[in-house]
Amino acid sequence: MTETPLPPDLSGVPDAQTSRKSRWSVQWIWLVPLIAALIGGWLMITSILNEGPVISIVFKSAEGLEAGKTKLKYKDVEIGQVTAVTLSGDLKQVIATAELTKDFKAHLVRDTAFWLVTPRISGGNVSGLSTVLSGAFIGVAVGKSDEAQRSFNAMDVPPVIQVDTPGREFVLRSNDLGSLSPGSPIFFRRVQVGQVVAFDLDKDGMGLTMRIFINAPYDAFVTENTRFWNAGGIDIKLSASGIEMETQSLASILLGGIAFETPADSVDSPAAPPETLFELFSGRTAALHNPERDVLKMVVLFNESLKGLVPGSPVDFQGITLGEVSNIWVEMDPAKHAIWMPVEIRLYPERLKLRARDKNRTKLSDEARRQLLDGLVANGLRAQMRSGNLLTGQLYVALDFFPSVDKASINWASEVPELPTVPGRMEEIQASLKSIAGRLEKLPIEQIGSDLRQTLQAASGLLNRLNTQVTPQITAALIEARQAVSSAQGLVAANKPLLEDSHEAIRELARTAKTLRSLADYLERHPEALIRGKQEDRR
């Protein structure tokens, strides 16, 4: 049987007392979320204040772009990152959304450039090799405009010249691009001093405009009279003087290029300001050619082939160039049923130094010039086409005096004065050969051949008769002569002792004759010796 426990003794416990709390008492636990909210707000405000601008860049494709990884760099300094890559509404382009640092916000202007940096070989330069390991990134070039912009179109290639590069930009006009391209070098005295920046084709398609950049301090050499020409490749010119070849450098041969120079008489011209427009010539000769102020046009008519004579061929007088061929065309004369090939030449009178009594007169009047030319033609001045180079076949027009030619005069009545001509040297040779051929044709070749045949037949008969009749007799005579010679030799051999005695007798006679000669000489000197005898004997 269990015992029931006794209740505890609560006599020592004090009585509970109730107290009434205030309705507005603060619960300290709620300060934690409040502080968290304040911190979150402060972080949000700080994030908003530090947030950089967001821009969109349009690319042709998303190759090399990746959201969250592709960086934006300016001078190899990271300034942003691509946050999203999406397609355009028409699915033809790719839009890359990028967030940049707030410090770059002021540089997002209309002409700021963006392009994708990848390994590239262009204009003889290799760039972007670092992206092989690190991956592609978007390059940025700051513009100069004051107009803010947030949407851009990416460039296909990086800009040739950065905005902060010292130098000046100029504009060239040309008929065609040739071998040039953005990045092609520009040379001054064969030193590279600039590059081609860009080009635009004219709306009418008749030419193009090219922008070039000359680095400082070489831009100071570009004056208002500077001439530019296309120096790409090898400039080979066939002329009456031979083959002329010119090039700037190996780079210009492979990649093309432009060269410029200021004529010697214009070196003191003022420097050209930026954006000055120049003409791009095809070559150095055309660029530095000074236009003649005084030009006399004349026409010469040649009755021979003009192959090898082209516009630009020289007109010279005894090796001195006085002009050039400007045009060649064909004319038909219905009245004479003939075809003419007029050659228009341009003469430069300023290249002739007049030897006149009046030293104060520096230029002839038109009438005086006519009288002078008429006098020269009366003295035999004629135009003649000559070969300048047998290798290239180039021809030129020569002015020279021919005293024996028929009289002629300048036709001043025609639209362009006609200068008398004489046949060329090759034409004269051909005429001589033709004359010789004509004379040969007049010879009775057949009759001469018949007579020659008869003569040969007669000679052949004579030789046959000699062989049959004369030859045997000659043979017999030779045999008899040989026998006679043999008999003479035998006779001489038999009488050999007699011949030896004869030789000894002849020698004795010679000694006797010598003694008699000595005696005669002595008697001639001493005739008294015949009476008195020799003095030595008498003594």
pLDDT tens digits, one per residue of 15-39: 655 555 555 455 667 777 778 888 8
Give the model confidence (pLDDT) of 141-187 as tens digits: 888 888 889 899 988 888 877 777 889 999 999 988 888 888 888 99
User: pLDDT tier at 247 (50, 70, 90 boundaries)?
Assistant: low
Strands 258-261 and 185-188: what pairing? Answer: parallel
Q: Is the pLDDT confidence value at 68 over 60? A: yes
Written as six digits, the tokens of 536 are: 């030595």
pLDDT category at 218 given cuts 50, 70, 90 is very high
State residue 437 phi and psi, 5-degree precision. Answer: -65, -35
For residues 277 and 497, what is the distance between their CA atoms, to the nearest angstrom?
125
Amino acid 9: pLDDT: 59
Identify the pLDDT of residue 356. 47
- Residue 526: the pLDDT is 72
In the predicted model, what is the mean pLDDT of the chain?
A: 78
pLDDT for 48 equals: 65
Higher pLDDT, 448 or 198: 198
d(C-alpha 212, C-alpha 255), whole Å: 16
Residue type at 211 in one-letter notation: R
Instruction: Report whether pLDDT(277) > 90.
Output: yes
Mean pLDDT of 354-370: 62
Q: What integer pLDDT is reported at residue 1 of this predicted model?
A: 46
Q: Is the pLDDT of residue 45 over 90?
A: no
- Which of 39-53, 350-364, 442-456 shows the lowest mean pLDDT across its residues? 350-364
In this prediction, residue 413 carries a pLDDT of 83
- Give the model confidence (pLDDT) of 435-445 as tens digits: 677 777 777 77
φ, ψ of residue 80 in degrees (nearest 5):
175, -175
Whether pLDDT at 537 is above 60: no
125-134, 256-265, 462-471: least confident range:
125-134
Confidence of residue 357 (pLDDT cuts 50, 70, 90): very low
pLDDT digits (tens, 9 = 90+) for 91-128: 889 999 999 888 888 888 888 999 998 877 665 565 66
Whether residue 538 is predicted with pLDDT greater than 50 in this model: the reply is no
Nearest to 219 by CA among 168, 174, 182: 168
- How far, in Å, CA of 386 to CA of 308, rounded? 10
What pLDDT was estimated at residue 33?
Answer: 79
> What are 440's two structure tokens?
């040969």
pLDDT band, very low/low/confident/very high, at 427 (cuts 50, 70, 90): low
How does strand 94-100 pair with strand 191-201? Answer: unpaired
| Paired residues of 462 in beta bridges | none
Secondary structure (DSSP) of 195-254: EEEEEEE-TTSS-EEEEEEEETTGGGG-BTT-EEEE--S-EEEEETTEEEEE-S-HHHHH
Residue 59 clears pLDDT 90, i.e. is over it: yes
Chain-centre distance for alpha carbon 480: 90
Length of the chain, in residues:
539
Q: What is the DSSP letter of 424?
A: -
User: Which residues, including other chains, have CB under 8 Å from residue 237's CB and lie 6 or more apart?
Assistant: 243, 244, 245, 283, 285
- And the tokens for 438? 């004509």
DSSP code per residue over 357-372: S-TT--S--HHHHHHH
pLDDT at 181: 83
| Strand partners of residue 427 | none
pLDDT at 184: 86
| Contact present, 29 and 36 (Cβ < 8 Å) | no
pLDDT score of 237:
64
CA separation for the pair 79, 104 (Å, rounded): 7
Decide if pLDDT at 421 tops 80: yes
Global pTM value: 0.52
Query: 3-state DSSP helix/strand/coil percent for the chain, to nearest 5?
Result: 30, 30, 40
Judge contact between 411 and 423, C-beta under 8 A. Answer: no
State percent of the chain over pLDDT 70. Answer: 74
pLDDT at 301 over 80: yes
Average pLDDT score over residue span 204-233: 89
pLDDT in tens, 366-403: 788 888 888 888 888 888 888 877 667 788 888 889 88
